[in-house]
Amino acid sequence: MALASKEIACSGQRVYTYEDYRQLPEGAPYQLIGGRLVMTPSPTPRHQFVSARLGFRIMAYVEAKGLGVVAYAPLDVYFEPTETFQPDVVFISRDRLNIIESDKINGAPDLVVEILSPATAYYDLKKKFRVYEKHGVREYWVVDPEDNSIQIYVLQDRKLKLYQEAIGQGKVQSQLLAGFSVDLADVFDQQWQPERPAPPAV
């Protein structure tokens, strides 16, 4: 397979499948989206801090209630031959633990969290969104560290529909994990901010 800077695509003429995907070296930074091997660059520190703070809170709640399991990327989630993703955080309910296999999650998690980045936002909001909807992900969280926002979509009549949204401040509450909510201030910690380059000398 020939590697491109952002995708392995062969000008869009070849559709890649899970069998191709699993031939990649372990840890290769790719996801299989719509039959294309899409490179996802290493996440930024900001991305990882947000992922850890939100993921920890979800995991603590799930474990305290005995609801199932929570897992973090990188972890393959297989949906169909041309779709294998690595969501930032996934929750799988206790009665569906059978979809966890030795090398992947084989089927839709109950809840998926994707943290947007410039390299992945298009896929998270468009292509992956449609696959999550098609395969019955019950709740989809879209987290944007750029504007400190969280959107929660829930599956209704086989469609993922916006359930809650908060930008900058406030709380969001899960429909699937009854009683679980997070304050945006706890997710988007303001104590750490990336250094900005100094303005040029006049």
* CB atoms closer than 10 angstroms to residue 33: 23
Q: What's the rounded mean pLDDT across residues 126-138?
A: 95
pLDDT in tens, 188-202: 976 555 555 556 665
Residue 6 pLDDT grade (very low, low, confident, very high; cuts 50, 70, 90): very low
Reading across the β-sheet that carries 139-144, which strands appear in turn? 68-72, 89-93, 111-115, 139-144, 149-156, 159-167
pLDDT in tens, 44-97: 899 999 999 999 999 999 999 999 999 999 999 999 999 999 999 999 999 999
Q: How far apart are CA 15 and CA 36, in angstroms?
A: 6
Residue 186 pLDDT grade (very low, low, confident, very high; cuts 50, 70, 90): very high
Q: How far apart are CA 192 and CA 71, in angstroms?
A: 25
Average pLDDT taken over every residue of the chain: 88
Q: What's the rounded mean pLDDT across residues 3-7?
A: 37
Is the CB of residue 42 less than 8 Å from the CB of residue 74?
no
Q: Which among 124, 150, 149 has a CA at the least distance from the CA of 137?
A: 124
Domains and CATH numbers, the chain: 40-187 (3.90.1570.10)
Q: In terms of residues, how long is the chain?
A: 202
pLDDT of res. 180: 98
